[in-house]
Amino acid sequence: MKVFILIWCKNPANANNSLLTFRTLRTGFPSSEVVVYDNASIIGEQTKRLCQEVGAQYFRFEKEIRHHAYLKLILLNEPNAILVDPDIIFWEQVEHWDFSHYLIAGRLIPNFYDHYTRCHTVSRLHSSLMWLPDLKQLRSHFTIKTARYFDPITHQTAIVGSEWVFWDTLAGLYHLFKEQSYCFSERELNAYDHLFCGTHLDLVIDDIGADSIIAKGSRMAMENMASLKGYWRQQDEYLTANPSPFLDSLFESSIKHSILSK
């Protein structure tokens, strides 16, 4: 399977985290074909050089495109794909993981309340490290299962009753194919770590605070990369500490209704 990475950097202060994955890319994927798209970043030459060092293909968008447009480019055209965010560090090889019995595999982010967006955020498999083993089959089910006008790739915000609900990137895709999705277990999660907002911390720091778990991860990456090992557990603790009873109840009610209506 081919690995895809999108590099986006508009602030020199974020360059370290925006290129973090190159440090251990071949630890995770020692022989995979890797395609790197440079999203009109300010670190193009550095990215190009790192691609040469790890044997990755390099392509540059001279005009910046949105993240969801990049994902659609892959999901609608490739036979299969592994998505890798640039702010990921690999502790061991993941190239051999086999999720061929599923349409999607990745880390489950549960329903939670996000204080930055001020929204109840719907559960999803995070696109930071995601296996899409059979995109042809996924696409064949796409139009059948998708309601008209609904975009399961792009992030969307809606008001449900009096509550704001946020469907983050690819959340819709996960809910469309939940029964055909694999949620990473502790075994997979121990093989890598990912920084939340690592490539654009400067855009959110004023709202999330310098002492937040997100800001802490970025500092750890700068000061001592090895200290990030197991960082996913701290992120899970944060998510658990900020639940969304509203969404949990909403989805539980919909499941019960679906069962009773059969």
- Residues 142 and 133: their CA atoms lie apart, in Å, by 15
pLDDT of residue 253: 67
Q: What is the pTM of this model?
A: 0.93
Q: Taking residues 119-131, what's their average pLDDT? A: 97
- Residues 199 and 39: their CA atoms lie apart, in Å, by 12
**pLDDT one-digit tens code per residue, 85-94:** 999 999 999 9
Contact at 8 Å (CB) between 34 and 3?
A: yes
Domain residue ranges in the chain? 3-261
pLDDT beyond 90 at 148: no
- Residues 15 and 230: their CA atoms lie apart, in Å, by 23
**How far from 209 is each of 112, 113, 215, CA to CA, in Å?**
19, 16, 7
**In 3D, which of 207, 230, 206 has the Cα closest to residue 217?**
230
State the amino acid at position 4 in one-letter form. F
Q: Of residues 80 and 257, which shows the higher confidence score? A: 80
Share of the chain above pLDDT 70, in %: 96
Residue 239 contacts by C-beta under 8 Å, 6 or more apart in sequence? 109, 110, 112
pLDDT beyond 80 at 262: no
pLDDT of residue 204: 77
Which residues sit opposite 19 in a β-bridge?
none
Decide if domain 3-261 falls under CATH 3.40.50. no
Phi, psi of 58 (to 5 degrees): -120, 130
**pLDDT one-digit tens code per residue, 173-212:** 999 999 999 999 999 999 999 998 878 877 777 777 767 8
pLDDT band for 142, please (50, 70, 90 cuts): confident
Coil vs helix vs strand at 182? strand
pLDDT of residue 187: 97
State the amino acid at position 142 in one-letter form. F
189: tokens are 């999660």
205: tokens are 């720091």
Q: Of residues 256 and 58, which shows the higher confidence score? A: 58
Cα dihedral 39, 36, 86, 119, rounded to 10, equals: 50
